[in-house]
């Protein structure tokens, strides 16, 4: 541990840490600490934290009250001076904690958006898209597998899909899975491949699908909010462990809110685009 002595007359606690955490063992009587009033006597560093020793002013509520002599407008308490030990996280430590928690939150938010996109892609918009079959599960040799893993899907034109299985024995299972899905399409099995023709979407059906998309977008937003909540809990935990101050947590939470707002905007943009596709005839 390195020890550095500083001049009490010139080194203010205020310049080292905005709101230091002061040991509860400092005083044995009911008092109120006065923030930022005091001089730094010395500081030492160990690992990622700094220990400050300072002379601070304290309001002692056990002493008689005394009216202000300057303006006679209020009541003040007598001040006493005590030595204090103040623990502060370094900027590097604060940034390290932020990086870990924020990175985790961003990764989870990206996955939430990917999940929403997958749901959007499974909803047909009037034009053929292989992604429409992303959620089709086929019973293949006794196990459910994704259709894309056992067949090639292509779009010969804007209103049809071709499903060509790698194993022709799976054609009937694929046909059954498509019929049982909520795609609303009737498969045409010619013995080699399955052709799917997309029926024209009615105005009423388009509105119904736009409501489904809106619900999925809201679910995505809820997921983002939950991820933000978990990150805030992680910051609060560090505050309880005395690794971050209350002000640190407020600043980091504000930064996290900016990240959250960015992902909320992404969801809204994607939703508006999908809604436009659905409602455009």
Which pLDDT belongs to residue 146? 93
Which pLDDT belongs to residue 114? 94
Which pLDDT belongs to residue 184? 74
Most confident of 78-87, 132-141, 259-268: 259-268
- H-run or E-run covering 239: helix 203-240
Which pLDDT belongs to residue 30? 43
Which pLDDT belongs to residue 108? 97
pLDDT, one tens digit per residue, over 150-163 is 999 998 887 889 99
The DSSP result for 81-94, as a single string, is EEEEEEEEE-HHHH
Between these two residues, 98 and 46, which has the higher pLDDT value? 98
Q: The tokens of 76 are what? A: 């003040």
The rounded percent of the chain whose pLDDT value lies above 90 is: 39
Point out the least confidently predicted range of 82-96, 171-185, 263-277: 82-96
Torsion angle (degrees, nearest 10) of CA 216, 219, 225, 227: -100
pLDDT, one tens digit per residue, over 202-258 is 888 888 889 999 999 999 999 999 999 999 999 999 888 888 888 889 999 999 999
pLDDT, one tens digit per residue, over 18-71 is 344 444 444 444 444 334 344 444 444 444 444 444 444 444 445 454 444 444
The rounded percent of the chain whose pLDDT value lies above 70 is: 67
Residue 147: half-sphere exposure toward Cβ, Cα within 13 Å: 25
pTM: 0.58
Distance CA 205, CA 46 (A): 66
| Residues forming beta bridges with residue 87, ordered by sequence position | 21, 51
Residue located via tokens 């299985």: 165
Which pLDDT belongs to residue 119? 87
Between these two residues, 20 and 109, which has the higher pLDDT value? 109
Which pLDDT belongs to residue 81? 43
Give how far Cα 41 sits from Cα of 13, 38, 52, 54, 168, Å: 9, 9, 8, 5, 83
Answer yes or no: is pLDDT of 12 > 50. no
Asked if residues 268 and 217 have their Cβ atoms less than 8 Å apart, the reply is: yes
């Amino acid at each position: 541990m390195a020890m550095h002595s500083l001049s009490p007359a010139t080194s203010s606690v205020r310049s080292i840490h905005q709101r230091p955490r002061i040991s509860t063992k400092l005083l044995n009587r009911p008092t109120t600490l006065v923030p930022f009033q005091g001089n730094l006597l010395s500081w030492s560093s160990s690992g990622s934290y700094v220990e400050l020793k300072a002379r601070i002013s304290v309001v002692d509520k056990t002493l008689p009250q005394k009216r202000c002599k300057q303006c006679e407008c209020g009541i003040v308490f007598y001040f006493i001076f005590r030595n204090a030990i103040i623990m502060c996280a370094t900027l590097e430590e604060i940034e390290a904690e932020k990086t870990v928690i924020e990175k985790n939150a961003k990764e989870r938010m990206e996955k939430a958006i990917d999940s929403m996109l997958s749901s959007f892609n499974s909803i047909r918009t009037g034009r053929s898209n292989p992604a429409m079959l992303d959620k089709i599960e086929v019973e293949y040799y006794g196990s459910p597998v994704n259709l894309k893993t056992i067949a090639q899907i292509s779009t010969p034109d804007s209103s049809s899909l071709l499903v060509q299985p790698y194993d022709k024995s799976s054609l009937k299972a694929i046909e059954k899975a498509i019929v049982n899905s909520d795609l609303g399409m009737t498969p045409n099995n010619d013995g080699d491949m399955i052709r799917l023709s997309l029926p024209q979407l009615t105005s009423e059906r388009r509105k119904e699908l736009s409501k489904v998309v809106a619900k999925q977008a809201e679910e995505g937003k809820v997921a983002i909010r939950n991820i933000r909540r978990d990150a805030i809990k992680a910051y609060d935990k560090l505050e309880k462990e005395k690794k971050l101050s209350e002000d640190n947590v407020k600043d980091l939470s504000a930064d996290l809110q900016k990240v959250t707002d960015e992902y909320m905007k992404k969801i809204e943009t994607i939703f508006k685009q999908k809604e436009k596709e659905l409602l455009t005839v």
